[in-house]
Amino acid sequence: MKYRIVDYTSCRGDFSVDSNEVFESSLDIHEVALNLLKDRFQEMYDRYKEDGAPETEMIDNGFLAYYCEFFDARPMSDSVWVFGNGEEQGRILISENSEWFDYKFPEERLFTWPDDGFFGSYEDFDWSSSPTYDFESLTGIDPYKTGWEGFDCAKALADAGVIKL
């Protein structure tokens, strides 16, 4: 099956496409979504190992500074998954059997989302639903319940087999 990944940045109402690619996989969309999320955690850990933690006023705690708690994946429909890929970054995974597979995302930065097409469906989605995959579902740990103080995000992900240290 073919899948399309659209990476985007959305900040204070604007929207811009960062990348848009099509690939093939024999996996179903749930498995592709799970693998993409795990890849995102590994990518961010590898970047942290290379660059160190970015300075931030909010969190100065190693790998936590990459906001890994924002990474999640949830189905918008049977053929479209949406990802929280960072604080202002997102990702849309679309299977070839979706009506949105050939949707023409804007090439120019938008400051107001259209209220029709894919954007209408996106806006109508119930965002209060729990993610199917997130840090807690992958590790069994909710740092908001256990506490962030001294919490080793990378170790929890590695212990759960999500990333390699």
The answer for residues whose C-beta is within 8 angstroms of residue 26's C-beta and 6 or more apart is: 1
The single-letter code of the amino acid at 128 is S
Distance CA 61, CA 20 (A): 33
Q: Which 8-state DSSP code applies to residue 55?
A: P
* 116 or 90, higher pLDDT: 90
Cβ neighbours, 10 Å, residue 45: 21
Model confidence over 149-161: pLDDT tens digits? 777 888 899 999 9
Q: Grade residue 100 by pLDDT with cuts at 50, 70 and 90.
A: very high
HEC secondary structure over 70-93: HCEEEECCCCEEEEECCCCEEEEE
Coil vs helix vs strand at 136: helix
Q: Grade residue 36 by pLDDT with cuts at 50, 70 and 90.
A: very high
Model confidence over 112-150: pLDDT tens digits? 777 778 988 988 898 888 899 999 999 998 887 887 777
pTM of the complete model: 0.87
Distance CA 131, CA 41 (A): 16
Res 93: pLDDT: 98
Q: Which residues pair with 16 in a beta bridge?
A: 9
List Cβ<8 Å contacts ≥24 apart for 23-26: 25/1, 26/1
Strand-pair category, 89-95 with 2-11: antiparallel
Res 61: pLDDT: 57
